[in-house]
Structure 1
Amino acid sequence: MNDDHPTARALDAGDRDSSAPGHALTIADVLALPVLAAGQPQVVTGVTHLDRPVRWVHITELTDPASFLKGGELVLTTGMPLPDDTTGVRRYVDELAGIGAAALVIELVRRYHRPPDALVHACRARGLPLITLAKDVNFLEVTQVVHALILGNQAEAMRRTQRIHEAFTALTLRGAGTEDVVRAAADMSGRTVVLENMVHQALICEPSGTTLEEALTDWEQRSRATPPGDRTDLRGPEGWLTAPVEYQGERWGRVAMLPAPTDKTFGPEHITVLERTAMALTVARLIHSTPWERIAHRNALRDLVEQRHRSPQDALARLTALGLPTENSRFLAVVVDLPAADTTAQPEIRLSQELRTTGIPALVGELAPARLGALLALGPSHPWRPTVEQLSRAMLDLVPQAVVSVGTEVDDLTDAPRSFHQATRVAEATPPDQPLPQGRSFHELTDVGLRRLLYALRQDTRIQDYTERQLGRLIDHDTRHGTDLLTTLRHYLDAAGNKTSAARRGGLSRETFYQRLRTIERLLGCDFESGEQRTALHVALTALDVLRVR
């Protein structure tokens, strides 16, 4: 588009929708209105400024119209009052540009049939958009239409602002948490909203029109390039809209609204949303005692374990923005199961504190009731066992009945969920008061043998049905007759089929022991000479033991 040509830009009436809710009326919008489009408007200068807002329309045939303007007006003229000399034209334009007029529209019907060169040069020099009309236009009708739109937009803007205030008031009154507030801000603004702490860690991000990866990649670097401020304002090279979150002089962080990919501008409503967001976050922090960082770690871990991120890149960007080193790191999941009656609050704090003493970066949070999780980011040469041992002993000192389990070490963050699932399986396969392996205070995958595997599966009805089919008739016989053949079977299987050793264990004579074995074979319909059948009964006895654990 050539701004130097008098007919540089002909506007189509369908270019812009000036009636769109919340849309500030611009020069382009006004020129696209049928009432002006009928005059065949041509943009002569200032084509790059057609997005300027139009505050009002002013019709003038004065040589000094600027004295009646306040700025933002679209000035309409037939050209009759324009001075004949170049100096006078330049002064006319200088005064309009100086007061901040939005644009000058001149009708080429009465005095002129092409815009004077002096006027074109003066408007171009001052960056004032100059628009010509090739046909006669009813200026009064133009003012009526435009003013109605402007007033209608103002009324609608007031209604939307009122709805924003009402929405945040409702959030505050129902005690909404930090995540609820940030989510509401993103929904109302249609922009990505991020809450960060004082060390530029992105704690909560609600993307809108973008992904977590796009919003949070290199977050700390970008955030540090965006200077802090004491009020809501545009800041930094990316043009973030930011507001501090503070109370009585103590600053806790800031909330940032990021430009949309297709629209880098912010309007008054965006400012209102962000200001109310900062206020609501302050109230939420005062009401809810859980620190922001704990909430952020907890939610990030849950989303990672349950693989709720849209992509591995989103997960990587989110955890990096939280301060977890994701490059050149190895990852290990630690799960801490607590007695059901215990709260996780104090152990969670203790686990975080203990990790800080190790110098190992980690995320810590509650994965489920009575279950804590920690994701450790280990350096290339840092062994994990001493660290986990330290954490385990700290947990056992605080809660002696706690069970600490670990998964396997992984080299890629995308494999971290697998490490958590392994640690969880170990925890679920660990009965209460399970003896700890010698020399360590935590459990790992290699500890899970037959007994612990069956314990983990104890609520599966197939295990229960198998146990009953294998041993039910023997248990029923003992119950009816007051015998203890089940113990005899146990001694026999524990002795690996050695009848002499088994009889000695049971304190029975060999003849009595043999007789009982024959009774058991008859009741169960089995043959003890079959190693497969002895194995099946051994599994059933082990399952019975874990099913009877309380």
Structure 2
Amino acid sequence: MSENHHTAPGPDADGPDTSVPGADLDAVGRPLTVGDALTLPVLAAGQPQVVTGTARLDRPVRWVHITELTDPASFLKGGELVLTTGMPLPESPAGVRRYVDELADVGAAALVIELVRRYHRPPEALVHACQARGLPLVTLAKDVNFLEVTQVVHALILGNQAEVMRRTQRVHEAFSALTLRGAGPQDVVRAAAEMSGHTVVLENLVHQALICEPSGDTVGAALTDWEQRSRATRPVHHTSVSGPEGWLVAPVEYQGERWGRVAMLPASPGPAAPSPFGPFGRFGPFGSEDVTVLERTAMALTIARLTHPTPWERAAHRGVLRDLVEQRHGSPADADARVAALGLPTQDSRFVAVLVDVPHEDETAKAEELLSEELRKKGTQALLGLLGPPRLGILLSLRPDQPWRPVVEDLSRTALDLVPGTTVSAGSEATDLTGVARSFRDATRVAEATEPGRPLPTGRSYHERSDIGLRRLLFALREDTRIQDYAERRLGRLADHDARHGTDLLTTLRHYLDAAGNKTVAARSGGLSRETVYQRLRTIERILDCDLESGEQRTELHVALTALDVLRVR
């Protein structure tokens, strides 16, 4: 024989009592397999040996069938563990082949033959026929009570079926609770991954992965080359296994309109082996509970789409952008795979973060919708999403030879046309996704340093880091109490004097400092005589206890005066 005999493990001396059949198995909730059955004490007592089909012992056992007929297949439906003493086996090799072919064709799980009465070793013809059809052949060296085997195995099968029903009920209850509390798509997909222990992905009609909840695998492993792999997985009309990787997929639709599909990935990615179990293996590595989970997931996603106003794509863009900003991705590979799965080019690309601040919070959602549609029409490669009212975040993907400023300028003018009064701030260029968080931080600093109504730079409709001077830096830091304290310590006494006496010494100081210490220019700016300016400057020196001829002290006062100006901005 070309295949070595395999002895099934026998019962432990301290193992469970046979009155509790299968108590040593961890198979509750999953189908009982041929390998599981052979470890049961009632069968292990017969010293089973696996002659053929060692690699197929994971076949599920649906039932046990005792037969002494020459044509037992006519009484089978598939998935049976067939027990025989060998008495009915045909004499001729051709008859044996026909006997085995009929068992294999109907989908029998395995053939168990007792080597006690007719045979003391398995016939060569039987071994060769089982090898040819991939049917597990198991021999028993000792007498076994087949009726007891039937009782024990059937009790286990029925017990498992009852457990499956209980688990299915829990799945239905869990998804009903999600629906009743108005759970969004992200919550639904996360629950599916947790309940099944599989990675679950929601995609739209153009094969963009909108939500990925990994289980065991990383996001990078789950979503790498997603579109290509997804397109190789044919569409289905109902929950079923599809594609070269053996995904369990279900359509998400409503009243005949399909919106996308949800996919459950096998635990170990790779080509799916064809199932040898006939109709009982149509879901491959997935159990009936997994099928129930995915079907309820599709249903809950349909309800979530009907009850939640935010489209899936927009919610997906928001989620990815926020994760990039807050650096919540597990690894650079995860970030790359997730962004690419949404259709944004990441290979040989550069990135620029842009922030769009609309003038009124209640205009943010409308601006997001309009700008997203406009970018799509122009073919701009970008992710756009709400970071928090009234701010939109945009991640631009650029070719290596593509200058970023013209792209940002076009984007900015589009935003201003759609929502007048919008402020656009650009971050620094990033060579890969790991630098995107820094680009968003730079754009945020630009936005924070931009006062309301700030004039646009010459020749540009957006602001960037190079625009931040002293005034804009102090404006960005205006809530820092150290800035407030500095301005008050340097100029508070002068401001108090003006308030008490109705004078305007701060304005005179401003003209003097703006004129870089030139008293004549300061007098002309304030419409005052030189003598009046001299007198006022002496008063300022006395009140502030300073020397206005000192360049250092003039600089300190200029910074304090600029800080005071930005602190008064409303």
Q: Could you say whether these structures have the same fold, taking a TM-score greater than 0.5 normalized by the shorter chain as the test?
A: yes
- Is structure 2 residue 309 aligned with structure 1 residue 302? no
1:445 deviates by 1.1
Task: Name the SS of the counterpart of 1:53 in structure 2.
Answer: coil
1:18 deviates by 3.2
- Structure 1 residue aligned with 2:435, among 415, 418, 425? 415
Deviations along 1:65-96, whole A, 9 cap, x unmatched?
Answer: 44443322212233344455545544543443
1:42 deviates by 0.5
- Structure 2 residue aligned with 1:227, among 220, 227, 234? 234
- Asked if structure 2 preserves the Cα contact closer than 8 Å seen for 1:378 and 1:384, the reply is yes
1:9 deviates by 4.2
Task: Name the SS of the counterpart of 2:363 in structure 1.
Answer: coil
- Structure 1 residue aligned with 2:178, among 159, 164, 171? 171
Give the Cα–Cα distance (whole angstroms) in 2 for the partners of residues 345 and 377 of structure 1: 23
- Structure 2 residue aligned with 1:379, among 390, 399, 418? 399
Task: Name the SS of the counterpart of 1:148 in structure 2.
Answer: helix
1:285 deviates by 1.6
Task: Name the SS of the counterpart of 1:501 in structure 2.
Answer: helix
**Could you say which residue in structure 1 is the equivalent of 2:166?**
159
Task: Name the SS of the counterpart of 1:345 in structure 2.
Answer: helix
- Is structure 2 residue 521 aligned with structure 1 residue 514? no
1:383 deviates by 3.3
**Could you say which residue in structure 2 is the equivalent of 1:476?**
496
Deviations along 1:419-441, whole A, 9 cap, x unmatched?
Answer: 22111111111111111112221
Give the Cα–Cα distance (whole angstroms) in 2 for the partners of residues 388 and 406 of structure 1: 7
Task: Name the SS of the counterpart of 2:50 in structure 1.
Answer: strand
Deviations along 1:325-376, whole A, 9 cap, x unmatched?
Answer: 1123222221111124433122112222332343321111111210011111
- Asked if structure 1 preserves the Cα contact closer than 8 Å seen for 2:386 and 2:393, the reply is yes
- Asked if structure 1 preserves the Cα contact closer than 8 Å seen for 2:77 and 2:106, the reply is yes
1:186 deviates by 1.2
- Asked if structure 2 preserves the Cα contact closer than 8 Å seen for 1:60 and 1:75, the reply is yes
**Could you say which residue in structure 1 is the equivalent of 2:335?**
315
Going from structure 1 to structure 2, the CA distance change for 1:354 and 1:118 (only over 3 Å counts) comes to closer
- Asked if structure 1 preserves the Cα contact closer than 8 Å seen for 2:10 and 2:47, the reply is no
- Is structure 2 residue 390 aligned with structure 1 residue 370? yes
Give the Cα–Cα distance (whole angstroms) in 1 for the partners of residues 151 and 406 of structure 2: 79
- Structure 2 residue aligned with 1:497, among 505, 509, 517? 517
Give the Cα–Cα distance (whole angstroms) in 1 for the partners of residues 129 and 460 of structure 2: 85
1:216 deviates by 1.1
Going from structure 1 to structure 2, the CA distance change for 1:477 and 1:223 (only over 3 Å counts) comes to same
- Aligned partner letter, 1:503: A
1:462 deviates by 1.3
- Aligned partner letter, 2:432: D
**Could you say which residue in structure 2 is the equivalent of 1:288?**
308
1:316 deviates by 1.0
- Is structure 2 residue 362 aligned with structure 1 residue 342? yes
Task: Name the SS of the counterpart of 2:430 in structure 1.
Answer: coil
- Aligned partner letter, 1:417: A
**Could you say which residue in structure 2 is the equivalent of 1:271?**
291
Deviations along 1:397-455, whole A, 9 cap, x unmatched?
Answer: 33322111111223323222222211111111111111111222111111111111111
- Is structure 2 residue 255 aligned with structure 1 residue 256? no
Give the Cα–Cα distance (whole angstroms) in 2 for the partners of residues 210 and 395 of structure 1: 40
Give the Cα–Cα distance (whole angstroms) in 1 for the partners of residues 34 and 110 of structure 2: 7
- Asked if structure 2 preserves the Cα contact closer than 8 Å seen for 1:193 and 1:255, the reply is yes
- Asked if structure 2 preserves the Cα contact closer than 8 Å seen for 1:3 and 1:45, the reply is no
**Could you say which residue in structure 1 is the equivalent of 2:192?**
185
Going from structure 1 to structure 2, the CA distance change for 1:394 and 1:82 (only over 3 Å counts) comes to closer
Give the Cα–Cα distance (whole angstroms) in 2 for the partners of residues 84 and 350 of structure 1: 80
**Could you say which residue in structure 2 is the equivalent of 1:52?**
59
**Which shows bigger deviation, 329-338 or 516-525?**
516-525
Going from structure 1 to structure 2, the CA distance change for 1:3 and 1:22 (only over 3 Å counts) comes to farther
- Is structure 2 residue 9 aligned with structure 1 residue 11? yes
Going from structure 1 to structure 2, the CA distance change for 1:262 and 1:429 (only over 3 Å counts) comes to closer
Going from structure 1 to structure 2, the CA distance change for 1:323 and 1:145 (only over 3 Å counts) comes to same
**Which shows bigger deviation, 26-35 or 378-387?**
378-387
- Aligned partner letter, 1:121: H
- Structure 1 residue aligned with 2:246, among 231, 239, 244? 239
**Which shows bigger deviation, 268-277 or 72-81?**
72-81
- Asked if structure 2 preserves the Cα contact closer than 8 Å seen for 1:63 and 1:81, the reply is yes
- Asked if structure 2 preserves the Cα contact closer than 8 Å seen for 1:436 and 1:442, the reply is yes
Going from structure 1 to structure 2, the CA distance change for 1:354 and 1:99 (only over 3 Å counts) comes to closer
- Asked if structure 1 preserves the Cα contact closer than 8 Å seen for 2:37 and 2:43, the reply is yes
- Asked if structure 2 preserves the Cα contact closer than 8 Å seen for 1:477 and 1:483, the reply is yes
1:513 deviates by 2.7
TM-score (norm 1): 0.93
- Asked if structure 1 preserves the Cα contact closer than 8 Å seen for 2:245 and 2:269, the reply is no
Task: Name the SS of the counterpart of 1:408 in structure 2.
Answer: strand
- Aligned partner letter, 2:130: C
1:142 deviates by 2.4
1:322 deviates by 0.9
Aligned residues: 548
- Aligned partner letter, 2:48: P
Give the Cα–Cα distance (whole angstroms) in 1 for the partners of residues 153 and 143 of structure 2: 18
1:541 deviates by 0.7
- Aligned partner letter, 2:261: R
Going from structure 1 to structure 2, the CA distance change for 1:453 and 1:21 (only over 3 Å counts) comes to farther
**Which shows bigger deviation, 505-514 or 455-464?**
505-514
**Could you say which residue in structure 2 is the equivalent of 1:448?**
468
1:538 deviates by 0.8
Going from structure 1 to structure 2, the CA distance change for 1:69 and 1:381 (only over 3 Å counts) comes to closer
Give the Cα–Cα distance (whole angstroms) in 2 for the partners of residues 405 and 73 of structure 1: 69
TM-score (norm 2): 0.90
- Aligned partner letter, 2:156: L
Going from structure 1 to structure 2, the CA distance change for 1:12 and 1:406 (only over 3 Å counts) comes to farther
- Structure 2 residue aligned with 1:534, among 554, 557, 566? 554
- Aligned partner letter, 1:179: Q
- Structure 2 residue aligned with 1:20, among 5, 23, 27? 27
**Could you say which residue in structure 1 is the equivalent of 2:154?**
147
Going from structure 1 to structure 2, the CA distance change for 1:462 and 1:172 (only over 3 Å counts) comes to same
Going from structure 1 to structure 2, the CA distance change for 1:356 and 1:262 (only over 3 Å counts) comes to closer
- Asked if structure 2 preserves the Cα contact closer than 8 Å seen for 1:27 and 1:52, the reply is yes
Q: CA RMSD in A?
A: 2.4
Task: Name the SS of the counterpart of 2:170 in structure 1.
Answer: helix
- How do 1:114-129 and structure 2 match up within 5 A? 114-129=121-136
- Is structure 2 residue 75 aligned with structure 1 residue 77? no
**Could you say which residue in structure 1 is the equivalent of 2:16?**
none
Give the Cα–Cα distance (whole angstroms) in 2 for the partners of residues 21 and 525 of structure 1: 87
Deviations along 1:169-189, whole A, 9 cap, x unmatched?
Answer: 222222221211111111111
- Is structure 2 residue 326 aligned with structure 1 residue 327? no
Give the Cα–Cα distance (whole angstroms) in 2 for the partners of residues 127 and 445 of structure 1: 69
- Aligned partner letter, 2:232: A
- Asked if structure 2 preserves the Cα contact closer than 8 Å seen for 1:35 and 1:137, the reply is yes
- Is structure 2 residue 147 aligned with structure 1 residue 132? no
- Is structure 2 residue 455 aligned with structure 1 residue 435? yes
Give the Cα–Cα distance (whole angstroms) in 1 for the partners of residues 106 and 365 of structure 2: 61
Deviations along 1:5-40, whole A, 9 cap, x unmatched?
Answer: 4x34443658x9633332210000111123322322
Give the Cα–Cα distance (whole angstroms) in 2 for the partners of residues 486 and 266 of structure 1: 78
Task: Name the SS of the counterpart of 2:138 in structure 1.
Answer: strand
Task: Name the SS of the counterpart of 1:435 in structure 2.
Answer: coil
- Structure 2 residue aligned with 1:30, among 33, 37, 58? 37
- Asked if structure 2 preserves the Cα contact closer than 8 Å seen for 1:209 and 1:261, the reply is no
- Aligned partner letter, 1:312: P
- Asked if structure 1 preserves the Cα contact closer than 8 Å seen for 2:207 and 2:227, the reply is yes
Give the Cα–Cα distance (whole angstroms) in 2 for the partners of residues 149 and 196 of structure 1: 39
